[in-house]
Amino acid sequence: MIGRLNHVAIAVPDLAAAVKTYEAALGARVSAPQVLPEHGVTVVFIDLGNSKVELLEPLGENSTIAAFIERNPTGGMHHICYEVEDIATARERLMAQGARVLGDGNPKIGAHGKPVLFLHPKDFNGTLVELEEV
Ligand SMILES: CC[C@@H](C(=O)O)C(=O)SCCNC(=O)CCNC(=O)[C@H](O)C(C)(C)COP(=O)(O)OP(=O)(O)OC[C@H]1O[C@@H](n2cnc3c(N)ncnc32)[C@H](O)[C@@H]1OP(=O)(O)O
Ligand SMILES: [Co+2]
């Protein structure tokens, strides 16, 4: 079911500062920021050729990642995103296995304009898993 690694996401308290570090220290080519109120984050992507790094900063009072940044003030690894061919089939299989699909349980459109789902970290060895349909 899961295919390629689409991205690894790092939550940061200050996106502009993190972008500067990645550009200056790692020579990263960073995309323009995307403000995504429906996800409560602002994100940029670093294209690695075979995968991506997503840097994300809380957006707004009730950002989904506000609590994460409170717990990890300097930021940290936030989630891993695997690609799936069909998000509805993936959702059925996961629910049949008793995995918790987060939010209202329905896919949302993610930063790449594709449907995404999130799975509870407690069901995947402490790692927040995102699935993106490709
Ligand atoms: C840009 C769009 C999209 C894309 O296209 O790529 C994105 O990536 S959007 C990214 C932001 N959106 C999300 O993360 C949505 C899914 N996340 C959630 O629903 C919540 O963040 C959460 C996972 C339910 C956590 O909620 P939170 O309020 O932070 O805390 P809780 O107290 O409910 O946490 C319960 C438990 O889980 C641990 N936790 C929280 N976040 C993570 C994490 N990122 N990785 C690992 N573990 C995490 C938290 O520490 C709690 O553990 P205990 O204290 O042991 O109970
Ligand atoms: Co993501």
Q: Tens digit of pLDDT for each residue in 61-117?
A: 899 999 999 999 999 999 999 999 999 999 999 999 999 999 999 999 999 999 999
What is the position in ligand 1's atom list of the atom closest to the CA of 78?
44
Q: Which ligand is nearest to the CA of 121?
A: 1
Ligand number nearest CA of 80 is 2
Instruction: Mark whether 130 is an active-site residue.
Output: yes
Task: Indicate if the pLDDT at residue 50 is higher than 90.
Answer: yes
| ipTM of the modeled complex | 0.97
pLDDT band, residue 38 (cuts 50/70/90) = very high
pLDDT in tens, 114-130: 999 999 999 999 999 99
Distance from Cα 131 to the centre of ligand 2, integer Å: 8
| C-alpha dist (Å) from residue 34 to 110, 113, 129 | 11, 11, 21
pLDDT score for 61: 85
Domains of the chain: 5-133 (3.10.180.10)
Is pLDDT above 90 for 16? yes
Q: Answer whether 84's CB lies under 8 Å from 1's CB.
A: yes
For residue 97, the tally of other CB atoms under 10 A from its CB is 8
Distance (Å) from CA 110 to ligand 2 centroid = 7
pLDDT, mean of residues 15-37: 98
Determine the pLDDT at residue 111: 97
Token reading at 24: 């200056």
Helix (H) or strand (E) holding 69: helix 66-71
Cβ(56)–Cβ(72) below 8 Å = no
